[in-house]
Amino acid sequence: MNQKNKKKNKDPHVKRLHNYYQRTGFYMFIWESLKKAFWPIVAVVVALVLFNKYVYNINDGLQTMTETFSRTSLLITFFISETILGLIPPEIFIAWSKKTSDPFVTLSILATLSYLGGLTAYFIGKASLKIHAVKQYLEVKMAKHLKNTKKWGGFLILVGALLPLPFAISCLTAGMIKYPFKNVVIFGLFRFLRFAIYAWAIFSVVS
């Protein structure tokens, strides 16, 4: 009886949540984001194949990258990039991880650093509210993103974690609106899934 009552109590809440996301356009936003994400993934793989075949051997370039820079310096650079709005495409580092002595360990470290970079960005966003000029600038430049984050909360963090969008931006804005940190931690875990999917695609090109 208790289980039935609990189920009945949850149903109206789930229905209200569904109606809310439907009314605010969240489902359409997710659908459009997924459609936009599919082609960039295809484009990255096709571009890598063509570039590798007709322009420059990617494997040679990645080998040079591995021999020129230390693993530690590359990981630090990646973490900084993933904290500051994803300045360098993570696909470059994912491809590089294939050339290391233990690709899957390196990939796991990259995914973890990307995740931690997003969490760091959350606190940067939260701290930036104390600076009036920064707060005003970010609210103007990222007004639409802030509005969506306030409406959809954790689901937007999930989208930022999975799709080819800078994860740090979603976490930064979450910090700005003081979205619960524990939810960012939970939804941000999908960042690991994104790295696994991209690695599967990129590793098939890089030998």
- Tens of pLDDT, residues 106-162: 999 999 999 999 999 999 988 887 877 766 766 666 666 566 666 666 666 777 777
Structure tokens at 74: 């590359």
pLDDT of residue 180: 86
Comparing 49 with 193, the larger pLDDT belongs to 193
Closest CA to 114 of 135, 144, 98, 92: 92
DSSP state of 205: T
Q: What whole-number distance in Å separates Cα of residue 80 and Cα of residue 119? A: 12
Lowest-confidence pick of 47-51, 54-58, 163-167, 199-203: 54-58
Main-chain phi, psi angles of 204, to 5 degrees: -75, -15
Among 113, 106, 90, smallest CA distance to 44 is for 90
Q: How far is CA 59 from CA 8, 66, 118, 145, 151, in A?
A: 57, 10, 29, 38, 44
102 three-state secondary structure = coil
Percentage with pLDDT > 70 across the chain: 60
Nearest to 145 by CA among 173, 117, 178, 175: 173
pTM summary value? 0.69
pLDDT reported for residue 125: 85
Q: How far apart are CA 29 and CA 16, in angstroms?
A: 18
Q: Secondary structure of the chain: what % helix, strand, coil (to 5)?
A: 85, 0, 15
Tokens representing residue 165 in the block: 């969008």
**Tens digit of pLDDT for each residue in 42-60?**
666 677 667 666 666 666 6
pLDDT at position 139: 63
Greater confidence (108 vs 90) lies with: 108
Cβ neighbors of 23 (< 8 A, separation 6 or more) are none
- The band of 197, judged by pLDDT with boundaries at 50, 70 and 90, is confident
Share of the chain above pLDDT 90, in %: 18
Taking the C-alpha atoms of residue 87 and residue 103, their distance in angstroms, rounded to an integer, is 23
